[in-house]
Structure 1
Amino acid sequence: MASASTAKKMREEATCSICLNLMAEPVSISCGHSYCHLCLVGFLDNLCYTQPQLAKFSCPQCRAPFRRASLRPNKQLGSLIDAVKELDQEAWCREHGEQLQLFCEDDGQLICWLCERVARHRGHSTALVEDASQGYREKLQEAMANLRHLEEECTSHTAVTAQQITEWKEKMKNRRQKIQSDFKNMQSFLREEEKCYLWRLEKENEQVLRKLRDSAASLGQKSHELGTCILELERRCAASAQKMLKDVEDTLRRIWAVKLEPPEDPPSEVQTVCDVSQLYLDVRGLLRRHQVSVTLDPDTAHRELILSEDHRQVTRGYPQENLDASPKRFATSPCVLGREGFHSGRYYFEVDVGEGTAWDLGVCFDSVQRHTDTEPQPRSGFWAIRLCARAGYVALTCPVTSLPLAEQPLAVGVFLDCEAGLVSFYNTATASHIFTFPKATFSDTLRPYFQVHQYSPLFLPPPDVVADKQETV
């Protein structure tokens, strides 16, 4: 009993009355009382801040006056504190004041030799802590190995979740760009629909990312918990036998209760889908109100181009020698213009491209160069799109603009608004928007423009045939 009470008394003497913990770097003042160095300095700094005129201070315990210069390190007290800390490492029985040198396997408790003789432990299986520690050390190490395995799983799940977040953001970015591209040049009555779909998409984005981030946060918290448990077990395993065996059964039960729930898999695809083709049904009707019948002008056709009798179909073949040398005829490129000229207003016509592998179509100025090689670009008087084997679908801007179409259009609609300075292209089967050129100023008459390649004939269906086809679809 003397050793336990002595240790308690020593601890009381070594306790700082300011922070109520064992003193750290103890210093003494003129009255003889000692405190932690940082605690006393902080106490004095606070007084100087609130009462700058003070030259002397009062001891926090006895109120005796002292000066700041009287602070002296107390090395003897420091040595005493080190001894108290060493005593704290030893386990003592609170009831009998004896060392806890035995371990009661029935109750899972550290006991002293007197505890073994009292009624609540009499007849129990006991062993010296050194003998009992080995078995429990192995159990703790097994539990620690399990936690490490769970920690590895947690790290793996965290990496997978981070990758899922990145992939989801990329999918969201692609879907957002697709929707915004589809709506970019639509009429005003479709803008509210765009906002609605983007709102739904954003809500889905927020919900899925919230779940993924919650999973990531949960995994991070679980990782921290596992790390804390592992550190606890490492400290316990490294401690003395008495300290390791103290409450070891409770520790093992708590550690084995730690589980890792794998995060819920996020949806693999974006659920918000905008069927723009359905929204374009009204646009199709709007375009059809401006539809005109377009035929080909044989006087402009290159010598390798063969026109049908009704001037609605053109194919590319061998050069025809019997054609007159018309100044209107294209001499270097296999091109042909439509007979109709557009000055003002809105016009719409459709071109059946079939499954051709190369073509240009659009509109151009009536005055474009036809006897020299000219790049068909807006600055040269051309507003057209192209299909070619090398680059696929492109808009003939400068530089060209790639057109990543979801499906191959078998027929292309061309819409011209002379006043607005706009030329737009549509997939007539789905009424989906393909491309719109930046706003321009048309200073000359515009005519339909076509460039024809081998095995890629073009056909200009009359408006009634187009309407019949759409009704069939």
Structure 2
Amino acid sequence: MAAQFRQSAQQKASSKPGKVPCDVCTGTVLKAQKSCLVCLVSYCEAHLEPHLTMSGLKRHQLIAPMENLESRMCEKHDKLLELFCKNDQMCVCMLCLIEDHKKHDVVPLKEEYKGKKAKLGKTEAEIQQMIQKRRQKIQEIKHSVELSDKNAEREITEGVQVFTALMETVQRNLNKLLDTIKEKQRKTEKQAEGFIEELEQEISELEKSSTEVKQLSGSRDHLHLLQNFTSLNAAPYTKNWTEVRVHPTSYKGTVVRAVSQLEETISEQMKRLYKVELKRVQQYEVDVTLDPDTANPYLILFDDGKQVKYGDAKKNLPDTPERFTKYSIVLSKQSFSSGRFYYEVQVKGKIEWNLGVARGSIDRKGEIALCPQKGLWTICLRNENEYKAGVGPGVRLSLKSGPKKVGVFVDYEEGLVSFYDVDATALIYSFTGCSFTEKLYPYFCPFPNNGGKNSAPLIISPVNQTE
């Protein structure tokens, strides 16, 4: 009974779905233990015994249980597929080797299996590496979002503080303006009240005198009239009001002065903000050097690759596609197609210059229009004091003083190009909403010497962090 129970339990276990069944069992089908590649039959433990004991069957090739053994046989020759043709990349039998693959590179399946398994291992490693890189990219993106959230929170906090301070400043200046106006009005009213009180006092005295004069003039007593005539004949002493005026208070210039003071306060606040902003963008400093292969033949580049000026003679240089030939322009060796970058250029001593960034496909042989539509985002100085931003016909820039060092900041994804007066910590101009699709190159144009007046070089300067 115990033996029957164990056999029944084995039968139930061996009949689970997903297991290879024995092809010989009738009735209750047991799980196969081995499959024979010669017989093309799968055997349970009981039916496998002849292959383990009989000498003729011992030579048969046994493998782990496998379904569809017919698929391991050559459909053409009904022989075991035990070779691999590398030329046709297919499994073949011994007869296929003789008939159809005689001169082909044929190896045993086991040998090809090892090679293919090694390749699969390499592929699996590559896939895992790709998965890992993408997981890292996900973390990078999440980290970027976190940084963006922190930056947004910081900007909101600072923005609220700044605008709250500005609103408080505006309110204080408004209150001060109203107090000034009211104080002037109170002085005028007080002066008028004093004059009115004095006039009313004189009127009271005059009315009293008038009454006495009327009484005396109506008297029939000759002696009484003559005795009092001297004292009542003359009008009482009063002030000469002819030149006395209460002039309406003039408030001319009061509002203008108040707004001017407010403007100074806001200007100081803006200077502080630009100082903070400049300090932030300076963190994206990049090392920029000039590319001699792009330089106009009239330009002189210094050995350090950081300075350029206009020369008196044209150099004999090859007219390569990269070189500017019509205008005195040179680009940097470095290009940027993503992220943010910042660099500074000294323009001290020059009366004409042009700076900014250019896309790689800019025309280097013909006319160049200083505008974003033609691939240029620049500002320039012309005729000593005419500052312009390269927007179509040019936008005049009103600067309190000419910059001696210009900072250039680009945010590729944001579509932003900003120019700063480094010494004054002030924003000169910003191109916003730009759409960049190519590599961007820092752009330099020192302009001709103009009789020596413009001979100073443009100098790419190291960034000194704004305090």
Q: What is the TM-score with the length of structure 2 in the denominator?
A: 0.50
Aligned partners of 1:359 and 1:456 also within 8 Å: no
- Residues 256 and 226 of structure 1: CA distance in aligned 2, closer, same or farther (over 3 Å): farther
Q: Measured at CA, do residues 226 and 325 of structure 1 come closer, stay the same or move farther in structure 2, by a change above 3 Å?
A: farther
Give secondary structure in 1 for the equivalent of 2:322: coil
Map of 1:306 onto structure 2: 300
SS state at 2:293 partner? helix
**Is the counterpart of residue 191 in structure 1 residue 159 in structure 2?**
yes
Q: Are 1:201 and 2:196 matched, yes or no? A: no
Deviation at 1:320, TM superposition (A): 2.3
Tell me the residue number matched to 1:369. 363
User: Structure 2, unaligned stretches of length 5 or more?
Assistant: 1-153, 215-234, 450-454
**Deviation of 1:327 (Å):** 1.7
Per the alignment, in what secondary structure is the counterpart of residue 423 of structure 1?
Answer: strand
Deviation at 1:444, TM superposition (A): 1.2
Measured in 2, the distance between the counterparts of 1:393 and 1:355 equals: 15
Tell me how far apart the structure 1 counterparts of residues 237 and 169 of structure 2 sit (CA, whole Å). 50
- Relative to structure 1, the CA distance from residue 398 to residue 362 in structure 2 (aligned partners, 3 Å threshold; closer, same or farther) is same
CA contact (8 A) 2:184 2:249 kept: no
Equivalent position of 1:458 in the other structure:
458
- Residue 343 in structure 1 maps to residue 337 in structure 2: yes
Q: Cα deviation per residue 1:10-60 (whole Å; 9 max; x = unaligned)?
A: xxxxxxxxxxxxxxxxxxxxxxxxxxxxxxxxxxxxxxxxxxxxxxxxxxx
| SS state at 1:284 partner | helix
Match of 2:181 in 1: 213
CA distance in 1, matches of 2:368, 2:188: 62
**Alignment gaps of 5+ in structure 1:** 1-185
The one of 410, 415, 423 aligned to 1:421 = 415
CA distance in 2, matches of 1:244, 1:406: 76
Conservation of the 8 A alpha-carbon contact between 1:304 and 1:318: yes
Where does residue 318 of structure 1 map in the other structure? Answer: 312
From 267, 272, 280, give the equivalent of 2:265. 272
Look up the equivalent residue of 1:460 and give its one-letter code.
I
Other structure's SS at 1:367 match: coil
The 3-state SS of whatever aligns with 1:344 is: coil
- Maintained 8 Å contact 1:301/1:335: yes
Look up the SS of the partner of 2:265 in the other structure: coil
Q: CA, structure 1 residues 431+258, in 2 after alignment: closer, same or farther (shift >3 Å)? A: closer
Q: 1:288 to 1:257 in 2, by over 3 A?
A: closer
Aligned equivalents of 2:400, 2:357: Cα separation in 1 = 24
Residue pair 2:275, 2:426 contacting (<8 A) in 1 also? no
CA-to-partner distance for each residue in 1:408-438, whole Å, 9 max, x for gaps? Answer: 3221111111101100111222432221112
Q: 1:381 to 1:409 in 2, by over 3 A?
A: same
Contact kept in structure 2, 1:215 and 1:263, CA below 8 Å: no
Choose between structure 1 and 2 for higher RCO, CA contacts under 8 A separated by at least 6 residues. Answer: 1
Residues 338 and 261 (structure 1 numbering): CA distance in 2 closer, same or farther, change over 3 Å?
A: same
**In structure 2, how many angstroms separate the alpha carbons of the residues matched to 1:423 and 1:281?**
17
Deviation per residue, 1:160-182 (Å, 9 max, x gap) = xxxxxxxxxxxxxxxxxxxxxxx
Q: Residues 394, 214 of structure 1: CA spacing in aligned structure 2 closer, same or farther, 3 A cutoff?
A: same
How far off its partner does 1:305 sit? 0.8
Q: Distance in 2 between matches of 1:418 and 1:320?
A: 36
Q: Which stretch shows the higher mean deviation, 257-266 or 209-218? A: 257-266
Identity across matched positions, percent: 30
CA distance in structure 2 between the partners assigned to 1:317 and 1:417 by the alignment: 34
- Partner-residue secondary structure (3-state), 2:341: strand
**Cα distance in 2, alignment partners of residues 317 and 189 from structure 1:** 52
Rg comparison, structure with higher value: 2
Displacement of 1:361:
0.4
* Structure-2 separation of matches of 1:230 and 1:399: 70
Return the alpha-carbon distance in structure 2 between the equivalents of residues 444 and 321 of structure 1.
Answer: 30
Q: 1:293 aligns with which of 282, 287, 297?
A: 287
Aligned-residue offset at 1:405: 2.2
Q: CA deviation at 1:332?
A: 1.5
Map of 2:77 onto structure 1: none
1:189/1:314 CA distance change after superposition, 3 Å: farther
Cα distance 1:310–1:229, how it changes in 2: closer, same or farther (>3 A)?
same
Q: Give the conservation status (yes or no) of the 8 Å contact 1:337–1:448.
A: yes
CA distance in 2 between partners of 1:197 and 1:212 (Å):
22
Relative distance call for 1:419 and 1:221 in structure 2 (3 A) is same
Distance in 1 of aligned mates of 2:198 and 2:445: 74
Computed over aligned residues only, the root mean square deviation of the Cα atoms, in angstroms, reads 4.6
Q: Which one-letter code corresponds to 1:375 in the other structure?
A: A
CA shift, 1:253, in A, is 10
1:99 corresponds to: none
Quick one: distance in 1 between partners of 2:211 and 2:397?
Answer: 72
TM-fit CA distance, 1:324: 1.1
Asked if the contact 1:363–1:383 (Cα under 8 Å) also holds between the matched residues in 2, the reply is yes
Question: What secondary structure is seen at the aligned counterpart in 2 of 1:207?
Answer: helix
Q: For residue 359 of structure 1, what is the aligned residue in structure 2?
A: 353
How far apart are the structure 1 equivalents of 2:296 and 2:158?
42
Residue 284 of structure 1: how far off its partner (Å): 3.4
Given the superposition, is the C-alpha separation of residues 245 and 206 from structure 1 closer, same or farther in structure 2, using an over 3 Å criterion?
A: farther
- Secondary structure at 1:466 match in 2: coil
Identify if the C-alpha distance between structure 1 residues 403 and 256 changes in structure 2 by more than 3 Å, giving closer, same or farther.
closer
The answer to whether the 8 Å contact 1:291/1:349 transfers is: yes
Report the CA distance shift for 1:261/1:311 in structure 2 as closer, same or farther (over 3 A): same
Please give the alpha-carbon distance, in whole angstroms, between the structure 2 residues aligned to 1:198 and 1:244: 69
Cα distance in 2 for partners of 1:397, 1:257 equals 62
